Amino acid sequence: MINFNLMILAAGYGKRMKNLTDSKPKPLLEIIHKPIVEHLINQITSTLSVDIDEIIYILGDEAYFNSSVVDSLTLISNKYNAKTRVYRQLEQLGTGHAIMCAEESLSGPSIIAYADTMIQGKVEIDPEADGMIWVKKVENPSSYGVVNIDNESNITELIEKPKNFISDLAVVGIYYFKDISLIRDELHTHLQDELPPGKEYLLNHGIEKMIEKKKTFKSQEIDIWMDCGTPKLLIESAKIIMKSNEGLSNQDNFSKQGNVKINQPVFIGENVIFKDSTIGPYVSIGDNCIISDSNVESTLIYNNVKVSNATIQNSILGSNSVYDGSNKEIFLGDYSQINNDE
């Protein structure tokens, strides 16, 4: 089996995640007690049946992506017996620019993945192709990069957010390169271009140039694509993950007081107390939480959270938050507090 490098593009500040990423980068937000980026790495290594030699993380500045973030990512890499390398993208100039921040590591077989995407379903690498792009049919292709393919799944065009219909096969954000030095050379040239206002240096631009030079790129459609770019998308992705792991959901490792009902799938951490509440379906709860006199459904609750007198669904409650409130969908960052009279 050939060893690969895996590059994770994670330099964004998660602005669409509202206050959920004030104290923690989006790739480290958890679904059933595991960070998004760990789900991504696990899905890539298991579905592609590859061994990862080194995981390269492209992060932003050290003030936000600090040493504790790097330590957390290193622990994840260690689980896959992979080395960790970190590069910094200090200016948000696009995916092509992010990749070139790791220029010295751009050689050999590699996989590039966006940190806020996940997949399910069996996929394979074509050893004859110079590269591969995984895709999924979507209803609104103008919002994505899309590919046109021929009868043998060769990519003939790659267009970013087309105004007119070209194809409904959207790029999901996971790429394979037989030798990533080829895209490095194209991006090196691309970065010499002067950017028009509002434009970015894009990975897809380099791939387009490779296709023009008759390099073979194959597409393969995946079964399930999960985008975690917004709170609501994260919840929908979490529900898919919970459904596929339902057999591992918790049964009795919590304390019950009064009338408590659990509707699976529900994933519960350590030292959790329920009082007169209905929990689930599709709920993930971290450690040291207390939920009382509440109904909770389709919600992610992180560590050390207290919920009372609430009926919530499609919500996310950050670590150390307190919610005593009315019926609503809500997104609370770490250490947030909302009381009944607010």
Mind listing the pLDDT tens digit for each residue in 19-51?
899 989 999 999 999 999 999 999 998 887 778
Q: Which residues contact 300 (CB under 8 A, 6 or more apart)?
A: 30, 31, 234, 235, 238, 283, 284, 315, 316, 317
Q: Are 244 and 261 in contact (CB under 8 A)?
A: no
Q: Are 235 and 220 in contact (CB under 8 A)?
A: no
Rounded distance, CA 4 to CA 146, Å? 26
**CATH number attached to the domain at 249-338:** 2.160.10.10
Sequential DSSP letters for 228-243: -SSHHHHHHHHHHHHH
Task: Please report the sign of the dihedral spanned by the C-alpha atoms of residue 54, residue 60, residue 62, residue 67.
Answer: negative
- The per-residue pLDDT for range 92-143, each reduced to its tens digit, is 999 999 999 999 999 999 999 999 899 998 788 998 999 999 999 999 888 8
Burial class (CB in 10 A: 0-12, 13-18, 19+), 213: exposed
DSSP state of 310: -
Counting other chains too, the contacts that 79-82 makes at CB distance below 8 Å and 24 or more residues apart are: 79/38, 80/41, 80/45, 80/52, 80/55, 82/6, 82/52, 82/53, 82/54, 82/55
- The per-residue pLDDT for range 135-170, each reduced to its tens digit, is 999 998 888 899 999 999 999 999 988 888 889 999
We find that the CATH architecture of domain 3-242 is Alpha-Beta Complex (3.90)
Within the chain, all domains assigned CATH 3.90.550.10 are found at: 3-242
- The per-residue pLDDT for range 322-337, each reduced to its tens digit, is 999 876 899 999 999 9
Within the chain, all domains assigned CATH 2.160.10.10 are found at: 249-338
First and final C-alpha spacing in the chain: 58
pTM over 0.85: yes
Structure tokens at 140: 């609104």
Cis? peptide before 281, omega within 30° of 0:
yes
Tell which wins on pLDDT, 121 or 78.
78
Structure tokens at 190: 């691309």
Cis? peptide before 265, omega within 30° of 0:
yes
SS3 122: coil
